[in-house]
Amino acid sequence: MLLDHRTYTCRPGTLKKHLAIYEEHGWAVQTRHLGMPLAYLTTETGDVNTYVHIWMYEDAADRARRRAAMQADPAWVAYLQMSADAGYLLKQENKLMNPVSFVPAPLRASGP
C-alpha cells in the first residue's frame, strides 16, 4: 500500500473559500478517479491556514494510473483552472508514504 499525504497552505482568510470551490467543482471528479480518501482534514491548531488529505493506492503504478485518468478529465482540468484563478493556494507539499509492518494497514485502497 502507498499513501499519498498532501498538505496545502492557503492565504490567510481564504481556506473556507478555497474548500468551497473544491467541494462544488473538485470533490466529485477527484473521488470518481481516486476513490475515497483515508482522511481529509483542516488544521485545528498550529498553521490554521492548512489542510491535509491522504489518498490510498495499492502501489505506485496504481497511483500513476488513477492520477493520469484524473488529469485527463476535462472536469478536473476546469476545477484546477478555477482554483488557480481564485489564487487562494500558497503552497503544496506531497509525501508518498508506506505503512510500517507492525501496525495494521488502513482500509485498502478503493477506487475505479
C-alpha–C-alpha distance, residues 110 and 47, integer Å: 31
- The neighbouring-strand residues paired with 9 are 50, 91
pLDDT, residue 112, reads 57
Task: Identify the helix (H) or strand (E) that includes residue 56.
Answer: strand 50-57
pLDDT by residue for the chain (112 residues), tens only, comes to 899 999 999 999 999 999 999 999 999 999 999 999 999 999 999 989 999 999 999 999 999 999 999 999 999 999 999 999 999 999 999 999 998 888 776 655 455 5
2-92: CATH topology is Alpha-Beta Plaits (3.30.70)
Q: What is the pTM of this model?
A: 0.87
Any bridge partners for residue 40, and if so which?
Answer: 53
